[in-house]
Amino acid sequence: MRFVNTVELKNHLNAVLSDVCHGEAVVVTLRGKPAATLLSTSEDELEQVLFERSAAVRRAIRQGLRDLSAGRLTTLKAYATRRFGSADTPARKSR
């Protein structure tokens, strides 16, 4: 693991990113304290990372767990009907 300050990162960004792409983790420091971590990621992993970091997803999961604990359950069909209308309604055509 390598540590770089913001000035070094600014001046050598391509080299630092090249190191990250080759598997080296880099900690960026601001005024001597860790501020960010640069880690290599693939396109396949990116969706998972964004999903895990989404505040909206975390809120929905917390609400779902509260509903589950309180015994508030629904079937997928009932949810889809509430969310999208009648289950007998044909799917909308995409443009």
Least confident span in 19-28, 35-44, 76-85 = 76-85
CATH architecture of structural domain 2-38: 3-Layer(aba) Sandwich (3.40)
Domain ranges of the chain: 2-38, 43-84
Report the Cα 47 to chain-centroid distance in Å.
Answer: 7
Query: According to the model, what pLDDT value does residue 29 have?
Result: 97
Least confident span in 10-19, 65-74, 81-90 = 81-90
Candidates 60, 57, 56; CA nearest to 79 is 60
Show Cβ contacts of residue 20 under 8 Å, excluding neighbours closer than 6 positions. 26, 38, 39, 40
pLDDT in tens, 7-35: 999 999 999 999 999 999 999 999 999 99
- The answer to whether the predicted template modeling score (pTM) of the entire model surpasses 0.85 is no
